[in-house]
Every structure is written in structure tokens, then in C-alpha cells.
Amino acid sequence: MNRIFFAFTIFLMIVFVSNARSQEYKGIVFEIKNKNEKVPLPGVNIYWVGTQQGTVSGIDGKFSIDNIDSKTNKLVFSFVGFRKDTIDVSNVDKDHMLVVNLSLNKTLQEVEIKGIAKGSVISRLDPVLTQTLTQNEFRKAACCNLSESFETNASVDVSFSDAVSGAKQIQMLGLAGKYSQMQIENIPNLRGLSSTYGLEYVPGTWMESIQISKGTASVKTGYESITGQINVEYKKPHNSEKLFLNTYVNNLGRVEGNFNTAFRLNENWSTMLLGNVVNSKAEIDKNGDTFLDIPTIEQYHFFNRWKFKNPGKMHGQIGIKALDESRGGGQTGFDEGMTRDTNNPYGIRIETRRYEAFTKTGFIFERPETSIGIINSLIYHDQKSYFGLNDYSGKQINYHGNLMYQTYLFNEHHDYTVGLSYVYDEYDEVLNDSAFSRTERVTGAFLEYTYSIEERLTVLAGLRSDFHNLYGTLITPRLHLRYAPNENWIFRGSAGKGYRSPNVIAENSYLLATSKKLIVQEKPEMEEAWNFGLSLTKFSDIRGKQLMVNLDFYRTSFINQLIVDMDQDIFEVNVYNLDGQSFSNSFQAEANYELFPRLEMTAAYRHNDVQITLNDQLQRKPLVNRYKGLVSMTYTTENLGWQFDLTAQLNGDARLPDTEQYPEIYRRPALSREYTIFNAQITKYLGRWELYLGGENLGNFTQDDPIIGSDDPFGKYFDTSLIWGPILGRKIYFGMRYSIPMPEEHKGHGNH
């Protein structure tokens, strides 16, 4: 630790003795429509010629980018379906606002587009296969929180973990979401105790965009990414609405209200306050099994963030968040004032308090392409809960610190980033009459090198070394390649290792809502896996419109994995380290095309082959769909007054844990059913107002008898964890959005 502290101090001294001065260019990108109408164009790739240094235009079309080298004075503006433009800014004053107009590849008479910009875009430049979901994508379905943001996405699946607590989990590449690194604005989050219910801690109206990347990610964000990375960007004070209001209500009794408001205090400081309130107190039992189909939820969530800058020298952010949530479930007759025993109904209660604070500071130096970033994040999470007669409580204190120094070697084709990181996790958990405490301290260093030849070739190689106080030294190599022989073909390849420290109780707390006894057969080891991936992205011009096709294949192979075995014994859940093989092969094909004017369609198919060794036998991993199909269509009227969205999801069969030893009335088939879900929404745009009406699971499909032994919840066969399909039937919802844009003269600019 002393050597690391000494190196850290010397590193800071070297950086801070430099003079920080740089030139920042600002501007706005427009799409030219009929009659020379200009509409701000979000998601445009903007970068310096011959480099990978760039940015992306915001939701209002605005951008800011730092000048990296006096020898590189040309900016490239590139966006799918539009003519690429290059602008020489050598004679542009830094205070001058650049105005860039992009036009379609074909004349407007041949391709007449008046719809809303694409809500999902695959990056052309990133060496890691990355898909960005914008607010336009979120508008296709009522997005109450992060768990409901992937209904139109084929790469991420979201499902309930059990039939009573409302806990949701994601899957990527056929593996549970715990193997995908969750980030909030490039800071690791929703891990540890928050991994079970954390997807509902991110309100949909707070989100600016989501980046989904497959395979191992950059070493700069740690060693935890194994199957992918999901990064959420919240709205920023400098480019958000002055005021945004949203209300939502559905036929299941959920009422939700949201507000965002932003202020610019002066040229250098701006702030934003975001609030979210959820009330869902209705007791719904549509299948008549005496258990609530969804838990009652009361949630209060607030976020205050500040942005500051010293132009050309530094910029930064400060934020604090607070969450208070209470959820209850169980049998319809249960009341939390009742004595919890076998003579009263079965009940569930989960109380959560969560507080977060972060700082992000960036310094820009006189040397081109040179900067330093410092990130600090502190989280306190407190959960108290009971499931029937089981009591579980946990506290977690998490600190994450990251220091990164970025510059170039020889010329702009050779960039590198070096850095140091420190992660502290303190866990205190109590399960019934047993207490479990541990402290994890991880000190790491990393180096990432990028070689690029304009837009044709990018090689991203990273290596990090971490010392974990419980698991020793961890070496993490990762490599990403991107090759584009021309602008219509993009090949990518990746290979890398990832690790993950398991949290046995917190990650499996939903199993406490069963009669099964949790048996930890041996001390859990660090989970370790290799991930390999290949992808091809092809852009074609068909009838004056662009067809995008993406094919990708990823294999995840575990060296060690913590196995949660529900097949070995019907009365136990056995937990042990992997002894044998465990792997996932995932293939996906996706296409996007505008079939007719203003009618955009996305179609995708994914096949999963996930095998795991359970009780010395290699077999299909349970509760993983073998395949998935998705079709999503969006139509906007010519005057942008209406938007119609329809999504269909085909879900293949999944292997279910063995129930042959159960009494016949409680047995389940070996495989689940194939089923299809239909979602639809209609949106009306009225200036500052948006009204939306929609429905989910319009076919009203539900899993039969989701709870085993619901007639005897304190009996030895009671199990709520065998969930493979929807528990709820048809859901109808209605909502309104109201926004007041920030006055142009009050908007600031800056990188995320």
C-alpha cells in the first residue's frame, strides 16, 4: 500500500505541474428537411480527422469538442444514412458557434423522412460492439425504470427472479446480469446488495441514454465485465429541459410522478434536481392462488447534481442521491402488524434505504490529446427484509476511486491511458440467527493502448493488475479489434478475461421465499471466465434507404463459477464452486430498415447454448430461453403529430429444475412453453405536451401456477423461484409528459 500511495503521489505531481490550457469548439448539427427546414440531429459521430478522439451530438444536436492538435484542424461529422461532412476549423474562433447541416445520402425527393430520429444506433467507430439507446427509444414504451428499458432490444432480456418479491434480473449472452457490469455514467453501480432490486432504482425519466456493449469491456472500468457492460447516462444540467414533468398510471394500481428541473447559475456553474415518486398499493391476484401477483411498492427517489467548468482547463460534476423504498408481498390476507407464524398468512416485506454521492473532475493540458480524470463514488445501502419466517438484513458501504491519465505516443495514431483504482466494499449481513461480515479491498493499476488508422483500423489492447485482499492478485488482459475496409463493412473481434466476487446471500435472497434450505458446501472462490467475440456490421443502400445488418457471436467459458444447484435435492439449494465445464455460446442476427416512409422496423433473432456442470453432469442451464425473436415497428405521421409503436417478442423454451421427486400435483414439465408477447403504444405530440396510451402483454399470456405449493406456503414443497414466463396478464397504461426547453442563451456545453 505504501508503494502504491507513493506512486500515486508522484503521478499527481507530474500531472499538476503542467499548465492546463486548451481550445474548445462548440456547435450544433442540423438535419435539412423539406423546404430547408432545420431539425437538430442527435447521435452524430464527431471526431478529428485521423484520430479516434471525438464526441457525439446531444439530444438537442449540440456538441463540444476539445482541440487536440494544431496539426489536426479538420472535424468529421458522420451519421448513419447521411452524407459525411468534413469542416476545417483552423480559422474558426473558439467563441464562434459552429453550425453544421447534414443531408441524406439521397435527394430529399427520393427519401422523405419526417419522423423522429433513430432511437437505437450501433456505433460505427467504437472498437467494442456498442449499441446506444436514446430517449427516442424510451418513448416507444412507457419506461418507468431501467428494468423496463429493454422491451424493444434483442440483446438484453429482463425477467422476474421469483413470483412474489418483484425482483428482476437481466440476461446477456445467456447468462445472468451479475456477469454484466452495470454502470451509472461510467461508474460501477447496482452491485452487491443492490443487484437484486437495483434495476428499479433507475427512473426512466432521468435517463438520457443507455450504452449496451457485448463481451469484455475496457480495463479502465475494472475487471468485473465478463459478458458485457450496460452504462446509463442521466440527463445533464447543461443540455436538459428547464422543466420536465411526467405522470403515469396503469390498470394494476401503479401511479408514478416524475420531475426534472435544471438551472444555469452563471457561465461556469449549473445544477439540476430530479425527483421520482412511485405508489403501487393495489393488491392484485388475478390467478387466484391467494398470493399477490406483484408486490406493493412505495418509493421516493431524489437526485441533485452540479456541473462546473473552467473553460480550457477543467470541468467536473458533483452529485448526491437518496432512495427510500418499501415493498410488500405474500398472501392477500397478510398484514405487517400480524405475528409471523404458520397460523397466519405468508408475508414478505423489504425496506431499503440507499444514499449515493459522487464527484468527477477532468483536467485538460496544453499537450494535445492529454487530460486527467478523477472519479470518486461513495454508496451506503441498507436493507431489512423478511420472507415468511426467514429474516434477512444487510448493509453495504462501497467506495470506488479511479484516476486516469490519457495522452498519445509519437503521434495521434497511438493513444494510451494509464491509471490507478481503488475499490472498498464492507458487507454486514444477518440471515435468521447467523451473521456474515466481510471487507473487500482492491487496489489496481491499468494500461490501455489504442492504435488507429483513421476510420479503417482500431486496435484496443488493455492490461490491468489488481490486488484483492481476499483473493490475491488478479491479472486482466483484454483485446479489441475493429476493421472497416470501407464505410459499409465493419468487422470486430474481442477477447478478454473477467472476474467477479460472488455475494451468495444477497444475489440469491429471492430463494428465501421458498422452503428450500440454502447449503453452502464450500468457501466461494473468485469467479473467473474468458470471453471471445466476433461481429460483422453491414450497411446497404436499398431503394434510397439504409439497411443495417449486424451479426455477432460470443462465447463465455468459465474457469471458475459459483454454482447455485436446485436439481441436486428438492429440499435444498446447494452452492459450490464449479467442478467441470460451464460455458455459453450466443449468436444474434439483427436488421434495421425503413420499410416505407416513416415506418421503421427492427427484426432480430438470438440463439443461446448455455451448458453448466450440475452434480457432476453437464446439462442445459435452467431457466434460460434457448432462442428469442423480436420484431419492433415504429410509424410516425407526416406532421409528427402521432407515433405508433408495436413490439412482438418470441421466447423459446427453457429447461426447468427437476421436480420429479415432488408429489404429482406439484410437478412441472422438463421444459417451459414457447410464448409470444405483444406490446403497443400510441403517442400524441402537442407542442410541449406528449400523451401516451399503451398496453403490455396484449395477448394476456401468463405462466400457469407460478408458485409451487401456494396452498401450503409453510410446507416443505413451497417454491416461488421457477419463473420462466409472465406472471401478470395484460397491462394497460396512460401517461403525460410536459417539458419546457432550456432557453438557448442559458444552455451550457461540455462533454459527459
Report pLDDT for 23.
54
Q: Establish how many alpha carbons lie within 13 A of residue 34's alpha carbon, considering only the half-sphere containing its beta carbon.
A: 9
Report pLDDT for 34.
58
Sign of CA dihedral 179, 185, 191, 193: negative
**pLDDT tens, residue by residue, 430-445:** 999 999 999 999 999 9
Averaged pLDDT for residues 495-520 = 95
Rounded Cα–Cα distance for residues 407 and 55 (Å): 17
**pLDDT tens, residue by residue, 356-407:** 999 999 999 988 889 999 999 999 999 999 999 999 999 999 999 999 999 9
Report pLDDT for 372.
96
Report pLDDT for 123.
87
Q: How confident is the model at residue 744 (pLDDT cuts 50, 70, 90)?
A: low
> What is the rounded (10 degree) CA torsion for 751, 42, 93, 22?
20
Averaged pLDDT for residues 186-215 = 95
Tell me which residue of 751, 745, 741 sits closest to 267, measured CA to CA: 745
Q: What residue ranges define each of the domains in the chain, with the CATH number in brackets? A: 2-124 (2.60.40.1120), 148-746 (2.40.170.20)
> What is the rounded (10 degree) CA torsion for 238, 240, 241, 245?
-140
Cell of 440: 473487500
Report pLDDT for 91.
65
Tell me which residue of 696, 683, 648 sits closest to 154, measured CA to CA: 648
Report pLDDT for 4.
42
Q: What is the percent of the chain with per-residue pLDDT over 70, rounded to a whole number?
A: 91
Per-residue pLDDT at 527 exceeds 80: yes
pTM of the model: 0.85
Rounded Cα–Cα distance for residues 443 and 400 (Å): 10
Report pLDDT for 16.
37
Report pLDDT for 235.
95
Tell me which residue of 674, 726, 625 sits closest to 287, measured CA to CA: 726
Averaged pLDDT for residues 704-731 = 95
Intra-chain end-to-end CA distance of the chain, in Å: 32
525 CB-near residues (< 8 Å, 6+ apart): 471, 560, 562, 577
Q: How confident is the model at residue 17 (pLDDT cuts 50, 70, 90)?
A: very low
**pLDDT tens, residue by residue, 134-165:** 988 998 888 889 999 999 999 999 999 999 99
256 CB-near residues (< 8 Å, 6+ apart): 144, 246, 247, 248, 249, 276, 277, 278, 279
Block residue for cell numbers 434510397:
544
Report pLDDT for 455.
81
Per-residue pLDDT at 256 exceeds 80: yes
Averaged pLDDT for residues 312-331 = 95
Block residue for cell numbers 405521421:
637
Q: Which SS3 state, helix, strand or coil, does residue 580 take?
A: coil
Report pLDDT for 426.
98
Query: Which H, E and C letters describe 603-633, residue by residue?
Result: EEEEEEEEEEEECCEEEECCCCCCEEEEEEE
Is the Cβ–Cβ distance between 226 and 529 less than 8 Å? Answer: yes
Rounded Cα–Cα distance for residues 202 and 115 (Å): 28
Q: How confident is the model at residue 9 (pLDDT cuts 50, 70, 90)?
A: very low
Least confident of 172-181, 234-243, 356-365, 436-445: 234-243
Averaged pLDDT for residues 274-279 = 98
Q: Which SS3 state, helix, strand or coil, does residue 2 take?
A: helix
632 CB-near residues (< 8 Å, 6+ apart): 140, 152, 601, 602, 603, 645, 646, 647, 648
Q: Which SS3 state, helix, strand or coil, does residue 389 take?
A: coil
Report pLDDT for 487.
86
433 CB-near residues (< 8 Å, 6+ apart): none
Element spanning 7, H or E? helix 2-16
Report pLDDT for 280.
96
Report pLDDT for 8.
42
Q: How confident is the model at residue 675 (pLDDT cuts 50, 70, 90)?
A: very high
**pLDDT tens, residue by residue, 458-505:** 999 999 999 999 999 999 999 999 999 998 999 999 999 999 999 999
Rounded Cα–Cα distance for residues 685 and 688 (Å): 8
Q: How confident is the model at residue 350 (pLDDT cuts 50, 70, 90)?
A: very high
Cell of 20: 492546463
CA angle, residues 197, 202, 205, in degrees to nearest 5: 145
Strands 180-184 and 228-234: parallel
Report pLDDT for 124.
87
664 CB-near residues (< 8 Å, 6+ apart): none
